[in-house]
A = this chain, B = another copy of it.
Amino acid sequence: MALFSSLTPVFIALLCVVVVFILKRFQKKESESDTSPNCTVKSRPWVDEDLKDDTEINTKEEDGDWAESEEDVPHVSYTTTRYPADVMLQRSQEFYALLNQRRSVRFISPEPVPREVIDNVIRTAGTSPSGAHTEPWTFVVVADAEMKHKIREIVEEEEEINYRQRMGDKWVGDLQRLRTNWIKEYLDIAPYLILIFKQTYGIHASGKKKTHYYNEISVSIACGILLAALQNVGLVTVTSTPLNCGPQLRLLLRRPANEKLLMLLPVGYPASDATVPQLTRKSLDDIMVCV
C-alpha cells in the first residue's frame, strides 16, 4: 500500500498526458473530416494521392511580371502589324462577332475533322504566355475509339457519384430523370477529345523539383486561345473540368505525376440537330468599369 501510495503521482501524471493527447487527436480528426466532405464515400486512393500532391499554394507564388527569369536573355527588336484606326475597329468588330457565336455545344457530329486543323489549333494554343516562359501544358489528343470509351466510362462513373451525393436520399426514386446529367455520349461520338494537362512542376537537371508558378492560370489562358482557334475554323466543344477523374485519366493516358488534368474538350462539328440553352451574356456595362 505504501508502494502504491508513492506511485500515485506518477500514475496521475501519465493519465493526464494520455487524456490530453487523446483530446488533441480527436480534435484533429474532426477538423480533417470537415475539409474532406467525400471521405464517407467509397475509398478512392488515386484521388486522394493526387490531391495531396498539390504544389499550388497561392500564397507561395511569386509576384509580378511573368518574364523575370528572362533577365539575362538577349533582346531583339519587335514590331507588329500597324493597322489604320478604321481597320482596327473593323477587325475588332469582326473578331467579336466571330467569338460571340461560340457556345458550349454538347451535341457533336461524328464526322471526321481534318487532322492538320487540330494540329494547328494546338500550335496556336501553344503561343500563350506562361509564368517565366515555362509553357507548362500538355495537350493529349484522343482519336482512338476504344480509348475514348474508356475515358467516357471513368467520367460517367465519377459524374454519377457526384450527382447521387448532391441529390441525397430525396431524389433516390427519381434517378432516371437525372440520368441524362451524367451520361456524356459526346465522349464516344466526338472525333477528337483534347485533354489538357497542367504541368505543376518541372524537373531540374539535378533531379530537383522546379515549381511552375501560375501553371493553372497559364494553362487556362492557353485554353482560352484554343477555344478562339476552334471557333475560328467552325468547330465546337464544351468546356469541362473533370476534377475527380483527373488522376484516373492521367493513369489511363500514362501521363507523368507532375501533370494534372485541367480540362477535357470534346471537339468536332456541331450535330445537325444540335441545341444549346437559351442564355444571354452580360452587357458591356455589366463587365467593364472605366476610370
Q: What residues of chain B lie closer than 8 Å to A59, measured between beta carbons?
A: 35-36, 51
B224 touches A222 (CB 8 A): yes
- Measured CA separation A21–B68 after assembly (Å): 45
Q: Mark A227-245, 1 if CB is under 8 A from B, else 0.
A: 1110011101011111111
Interface of A is mostly: mixed
Within 8 A of B (CB), among A67-121: 67-68, 70-71, 73-83, 85, 88-89, 91-93, 95-96, 99-107, 114, 116-117, 119-121
Q: For the side of the interface on A, what is the size category?
A: 35 or more
How far apart are A147's CB and chain B's nearest CB, in angstroms? 5
A138 touches B287 (CB 8 A): yes
Report which residue of A70, A101, A126 has the largest number of chain B beta carbons within 10 angstroms of its beta carbon: A126
B122 touches A287 (CB 8 A): yes
Q: Mark A13-51, 1 if CB is under 8 A from B, else 0.
A: 101110011001000000000011100000000000001
Copy number of this protein in the oligomer?
2
B270 touches A78 (CB 8 A): yes
Measured CB to CB, the residues of A under 8 A from B are 8-10, 12-13, 15-17, 20-21, 24, 35-37, 51, 54, 57-68, 70-71, 73-83, 85, 88-89, 91-93, 95-96, 99-107, 114, 116-117, 119-124, 126-129, 131, 133, 135, 137-144, 147, 155, 158-159, 162, 166, 181-182, 184, 214, 216-217, 220-229, 232-234, 236, 238-245, 253, 255, 262-263, 269-270, 273-279, 281-282, 284, 287-291
A-B residue pairs, 10 tightest by C-beta: A224-B224, A220-B220, A92-B120, A9-B9, A75-B275, A221-B224, A73-B277, A70-B277, A129-B239, A78-B276
